[in-house]
Amino acid sequence: MKDILEKLKAYRFPLLILLVGVALMLLPSAAERDPAQENSLAEALSLTQGVGEAYVLLSDSGVVVVCDGAQDAATRLEIIMAVRTYTGFGADQITVLKRNR
């Protein structure tokens, strides 16, 4: 038993790295899209004054919002703030586009 503990002690850093890697692999991935989350955010934005009809795409790298009211700077700012609060993404990861009819 003492020999096993000494061998484990000699390889403690590679084993620690292996355990951390396995733990990270077991965490849920942000790449799994949830259409219900996109729909609820789009619905909430659509109810906001000045936004109009909104469509939302969520990914692991950011958010895209396409809506009628994107041409107004104040509305764009409100959308970015709402999406940032809801998703936790920074303003640089949120894109607001004007809807083309």
Domain boundaries in the chain? 35-98
What pLDDT, on a 0 to 100 scale, did the predictor assign at position 43? 92
pTM above 0.75, yes or no: no
Per-residue pLDDT at 59 exceeds 60:
yes
Q: What is the pLDDT of residue 33?
A: 61
The rounded distance, in Å, linking the Cα atoms of 75 and 50 is 6
Indicate the class that CATH gives domain 35-98. alpha beta
Contact call for residues 54 and 86 (beta carbons, < 8 A): no
Q: How far apart are CA 56 and CA 71, in angstroms?
A: 17
Q: What are phi and psi of 63, to 5 degrees?
A: -130, 140
Give the pLDDT mean for 47-69: 92
Each residue of 3-41: pLDDT tens digit?
877 777 777 787 778 778 887 777 765 555 678 888 899
Distances (CA, A) of 90 to 63, 80, 93: 10, 9, 5
Of 28, 45, 26, give the one whose Cα is nearest residue 99: 45
Convert the pLDDT of each residue in 65-88 to its tens digit.
999 989 999 999 999 999 999 999
